[in-house]
Amino acid sequence: MKLSLCVPTECLSPKEIKGVTLSDQQYKDLIEGRAVKVEGMTSKNSKSFDATLQVNAEKKGIEFIFGDKKSLQERKAQHQEQGQKARRNSS
């Protein structure tokens, strides 16, 4: 297994994502690891869409979170919680 480190400022370089120019605050929030809701982006099929963006260090890029989907960090936390509950119940 290869372990790599990605500092958000190294993962994130474009200030424009899918046709939307991020505000200074949105960009700052992304760099600081916070999720940012972005509206009016344009897909490859020229359709408009909204999503929450967050830097994903494992993928070394931007993660798009749609609707009720959870971010990678939230999914990992939930998985760890379930594992802890399962261990407690098996004891």
pLDDT tens digits for range 13-62: 578 889 999 999 999 998 888 889 999 999 999 999 999 998 888 878 88
What is the pLDDT at residue 5? 44
> b/e for 25-53, b at 16 or more Cβ within 10 A?
ebbebbeeeeebebeebeeeeeeeeebeb
- Cα 25 to Cα 23: distance, rounded to the nearest angstrom: 5
**CB 65, CB 71: distance < 8 Å:** yes
